[in-house]
Amino acid sequence: MPAFASLDPAAAPAGDAPVIYIMKRYPRLTETFILNEIRAMERLGAKLHIVSLLPPEPPPHHPMVAEVEAPLHPVPPMSEAAGRRQIAAAHRRAIAAAPGRYLAAFGRAMLFSARSPNPLSVWKQFLRGGVIATLCRSHGIRHIHAHFANAPAAAAWFASMMTGLPFSFTAHAKDLYLTPPQVIRKRALAASFVATCTGYNVKYLAGLLDGETDRIKLVYHGIDLGLFGARRQDAAVREAGETLILSVGRLVPKKGHDDLIAACARLRRQGIAFRCRIIGEGPLRETLQAQIAAHGLDGVVTLDGAMTHADLIALYATANVFALAPRITEDGDRDGIPNVIAEAMAIGVPVVSTRVSGIPELVRDGETGRLVPPRDPAALAAAIEDILADPATARRLAEAGRARLEGEFDLWTTTRRLHALLGCAGCVPQAREGGGTRFRADSPTAPSSLAKASS
């Protein structure tokens, strides 16, 4: 793990004032959409610092982590004596720097904890906020931005209270719908703006803010189309010599893999020859494997685990159809627009998915792909069969899907929007391709070629 960066104000770097990014955990293999955004922000000229509230995931990491220049500041662990001493030191500095602001933040934490069903969580974010506040002063930060509306946004808000700096956050999916609405409302009204990755989320947030919608900004997750443009999907499919249904996503309930397996059983009973590969890891592996066996699909449907991103891109190109069947779970968890859908479309693979959350904003039924109701294996099987039986329609949908990405989901288009919202419009873009790294080659955060399938 990288050492916690110095809290000494003398260590503050020279140059234009940077933005601090707060994540629950960084690097994280399944959050390549944030990694892509950070890379693009830096190449557009933004100066960043990154705070990880939890220790970084152990290796392997996505190779693109090596291209990020922003220094990484893991919050000291509260479970360790040394970490607690660092946190206490940071809070002493925060008090000394602005005692009135600190006391106001402390009073707000007392109020929040009295009203919260989980007061310990409130105080945890307050402690993290004090560390972030001292980091902001040490490194001349001008704006605080958090990814996710739950713990990162809470810690960002406390840091904002202690420093007077503006803060903002990006709301995604689980963090937005599993956080109490009244909590989201308070954080959104305190923020300078709230970015979110789907129009579906925009409508939800607008309902919480009673017309205070100017601060809600739609910023889609962009795809770096340059990584996909050179693939020849049709040639790869012919070379593969089999009919492949591909799905990518964590093995968790909201991904609907059980519906896809049930759909595959229907296709098999109809005499359709195919192979289905599901890429990803998760807690449902044993349950899904048992379902595959119960349907007699061993060797036809396979759970292939994690895969390097480079290998995944090559695999997309061999697929006849990409299928993912997300749903809203009983506790309200759901996807936004799964990045893997956009990646498949970028390669030129026709997509079948469900009418859930923001997916219809990218996959338009009959235009850029096929959509079916969630939890409907029969409809899912029928849509997959239609695509497999009609190569001309499949090609038309794939071409329209790629064009849709180029119009509104290009990484550089979407990141420039956030770049401007964060006040980086005057930053000077980097003249070179790629960047250096703050990770030592011998450190636990050194990059590796292995990456899990992103969700």
Taking 70 as the pLDDT cut, the residues of the chain under it are: 1-15, 229-240, 425-455
The pLDDT value recorded for residue 71 is 97
Task: Indicate whether 436 belongs to any domain.
Answer: no
Asked if 235 and 356 sit in the same domain, the reply is yes
Specify the CATH number for the domain of residue 402: 3.40.50.2000
**Which pair of tokens denotes residue 227?**
């990584």
Q: Scanning the structure block, which residue is given the tokens 């001309």?
A: 392
Asked if 20 and 86 sit in the same domain, the reply is yes
Task: Indicate whether 450 belongs to any domain.
Answer: no
Asked if 188 and 247 sit in the same domain, the reply is no
Task: Indicate whether 427 belongs to any domain.
Answer: no
Sign (positive or negative) of CA dihedral 166, 171, 174, 177: positive
Total number of domains constituting the chain: 2
Burial of 400 (0-12, 13-18, 19+ CB in 10 A): middle
What CA–CA distances, in Å, run from 361 to 153, 344, 387, 401, 407?
26, 16, 20, 11, 12
Sign (positive or negative) of CA dihedral 315, 359, 221, 347: positive
The pLDDT value recorded for residue 425 is 59
Asked if 266 and 289 sit in the same domain, the reply is yes
Asked if 210 and 156 sit in the same domain, the reply is yes
Q: Count CB-CB contacts under 10 A for residue 27.
A: 27
Asked if 245 and 347 sit in the same domain, the reply is yes
Task: Indicate whether 129 belongs to any domain.
Answer: yes
Task: Indicate whether 435 belongs to any domain.
Answer: no
Task: Indicate whether 163 belongs to any domain.
Answer: yes
The pLDDT value recorded for residue 15 is 37
The pLDDT value recorded for residue 438 is 39
Which of 385, 407, 429 finishes a domain? 407
The pLDDT value recorded for residue 434 is 36
Asked if 102 and 237 sit in the same domain, the reply is no
Asked if 79 and 128 sit in the same domain, the reply is yes
Identify the CA nearest to 19 among candidates 44, 2, 36: 44
Helix (H) or strand (E) holding 111: helix 99-115
E-strand stretches of 370-431: 370-372
Asked if 163 and 238 sit in the same domain, the reply is no
Asked if 241 and 343 sit in the same domain, the reply is yes
Identify the CA nearest to 197 among candidates 342, 388, 376, 49: 342
The pLDDT value recorded for residue 245 is 98
The pLDDT value recorded for residue 228 is 82
Tell me the residue range of the domain where 157 lies: 9-222+411-421
Asked if 151 and 250 sit in the same domain, the reply is no
Q: From CA 119, how far away is CA 100, in angstroms rounded?
A: 23
**Claim: this prediction has a pTM higher than 0.95:** no
The pLDDT value recorded for residue 28 is 85
Task: Indicate whether 135 belongs to any domain.
Answer: yes
Contact indicator for 4, 128 with CB cutoff of 8 Å = no
Contact indicator for 337, 358 with CB cutoff of 8 Å = yes
Asked if 84 and 176 sit in the same domain, the reply is yes
Q: From CA 155, how far away is CA 166, in angstroms rounded?
A: 13
The contacts of residue 416 (CB under 8 Å, 6+ apart) are 44
Task: Indicate whether 430 belongs to any domain.
Answer: no
